[in-house]
Each structure stands twice: as structure tokens, then as C-alpha cells.
Amino acid sequence: MKTIDLRSDTVTKPTDEMIEAIVRAHKEDRFGDDVIGEDTVVHELQDKAAKILGKEAALLVTSGTQGNVVSLLAQAKPGEEVVVEERSHSYIHEAGAMASLGGLYPKPVKGDRGYITPETLKSAISIDNPHYAKTTMVIQENTHNASGGAIIGPEQFDALADVAHENGLAVHCDGARLFNAAVALDIPAKRLVERSDSVMVCLSKGLSAPVGSIVAGTEDFIYKAHRARKRLGGGMRQAGLIAAPGIVALESMVERLREDHENTQLLYSQLSRIPDLIVEEPETNILFIRLDNLKINSMELETELKKRNILVYGDPHFGTRTRLVVHRMVSKEDILHFANEMEDILGG
């Protein structure tokens, strides 16, 4: 029996086209030592990503976390302050990297469905006084994971960037799922990050590449980011093995995210029929359910579903909420089967 995995879009497997791209690049003898800049496949990926994101240059990194940390190290100094949304990935799920690796002081603020409003940012910027850490950067996550894949629209991002730049702050976009936002809004991804000084996008989530993320920005930023990546041990040799699937991801997998969004809406409509189950309306491919009114907690639900070959995270961090993530490996039929199993478990 097939296992239905709704834990995350990180479990997506590479496509046949991605594997073929690796083999083709090998036959064409295009792999080289990327640490010394000799892998032509990596160069192709970076050039393509920079163009798609509307930036001067881009850099391949091993993961979204590394990309966020590299972006911070390239733009902020130890002892400086970074404004983050209180439920953001860079604040909660990166093992304190900005503090432990960068010596940076995170200042968490409450967002509006993950969005740091201009007013909130203004109030968070520390005064220029020797007693306080200097506020140097702000990070905006888009889509916002903990808010159910909520989209930060271009006008919202522009307004945030206006305040940041007026006050001398750099703006970094944690765009792990930026392409989900772009597809949902039917606009180019570059429009969402026009005003960002740096952006990170993941190739290995909904886009299905096996490894890798991209950071992009100005030529000067990428020069500094390259050094930061080296400091973190992120220099790779024949990295074209990673870059080849990444190129396919950017060329072939972005538009198919619409299917994930459609299936997430189907999941929403099916689960909404279950009595006493609270279902948060999704915007992209992430949906949260809440068990407040039911005699089962998230950990118990995880255990019960696992008996039925369905995987979810019963994460205590989310309290009574359970996150469900739809991706390429989850079909319409899987959605309907999952909903039926949920109805059976919850006594609907």
C-alpha cells in the first residue's frame, strides 16, 4: 500500500528528467571543481536563477538554512540586530544559527499572518544609542510557513522595504516557497523581491530537486556571500550534480505548483466537512488543522494515521495545530483517501 506523506514538501523525489540532466551533463563533461569556479552547470544554474529573480547574480548553496545564514553573514556584523517575525523559520527552525554563527541579535516581532507591517518594523528599530544593538536587517518570509503558507504580496513587501531602506536596514527575503507565492498570484517571482537586497529560494521543496537552494542579490552581495558560504563549509566540488536537477526545477517545475494549490483547496473542502475539526483556509500548499474541540492531540493523531500508512508531523511546537503540506507526491486520490481516514478517526 502506498504511503501518503503530508509531513512536508521536502520529501519530494527528483523527476526522471532531473536524473537524465545529471547523466547528460556528465556525458558532456561539464562537471568541474566549483570551489575554483570550474563547474559550467553551476554557472548556468546561477545565471538562470539570477535572471528569474531579477538580481545581478546568484549563488548555489546546500540548503535554505545555509542560504539564510549566508545572507545574514554577508550583510550584518556581530553584535548587530536583525528584526524577524516571531514564528519565522530563520528565528525558530535554524538552531539559533544567526546568533551562534553570526553573533547577531534577533529581535522577534508579531506579524500579521506572518507579515511584518511597516508600522511594526518602525517600532522595532532600536534608537541610535551605544546602549542598544544597532538594527541592521529585517527578514521577511514568503510564503510564511507557520501562517499556513500565507502570501506576502508585492505591495506589502514594497511597503516594508521602504521603511527598512529609509532607516538604513537591508531586507532579506526567506523565499523558501517564493515560487508558490508567485504562482498563486500569477506574477513573476522577481516582482515579489524587487525591493529585497537578498533573497533565498529552495529548489528542493515543491520544485522537487534533490538538494540545493539559491541566494541572489547584487554582485557585491554575492561576492560576500561566496566568502560566507566558504566559511560555513559550503564550498562543493563537482556541484553540477546538484545544479543539473536545479535547472530542471526552475525550467519545468514552477508552473506545476498550481496542481499542489488545487489539491490543497480540495483537501480544505474535504476536511471542512468533519464536525468539530477546525480547518484554516489555505492560500498555497500548506494547510493547518486544529484539534481544540476534539479528544485527540496532534501526537496521537500522528500515531493513528501512521497505522494507516499516512505520515504527518504531530509537532508540539504548533500546539493543537497540525500542519499538512501538499506536494507532487500527493495525488487527488490520495487527498480523498486521507480525508476519508480522517473522518473515520475523528468520528465524523
The string of pLDDT tens digits covering residues 313-333 is 987 666 678 999 999 999 999
Amino acid letter for position 251: E
At residue 149, the pLDDT reads 98
**d(C-alpha 67, C-alpha 16), whole Å:** 27
pLDDT tens-digit series, residues 176-218: 999 999 999 999 999 999 999 999 999 999 999 999 999 999 9
Would you say 84 and 77 are in contact if contact means Cβ atoms under 8 Å apart? no
pLDDT of 233 > 80? The answer is yes
At residue 291, the pLDDT reads 92
Q: What domains lie within the chain, and their CATH numbers?
A: 16-252 (3.40.640.10), 256-346 (3.90.1150.10)
Q: What is the mean pLDDT of the chain?
A: 96
pLDDT of 151 > 60? The answer is yes
**d(C-alpha 51, C-alpha 57), whole Å:** 8
Average pLDDT over residues 15-37: 97
At residue 314, the pLDDT reads 84
pLDDT tens-digit series, residues 242-298: 999 999 999 999 999 999 999 999 999 999 999 999 999 999 999 999 999 998 989
At residue 318, the pLDDT reads 64
Contacts of residue 45, defined as CB under 8 A and 6 or more positions apart, other chains included, come to: 58, 60, 214, 243, 244, 246, 247, 250
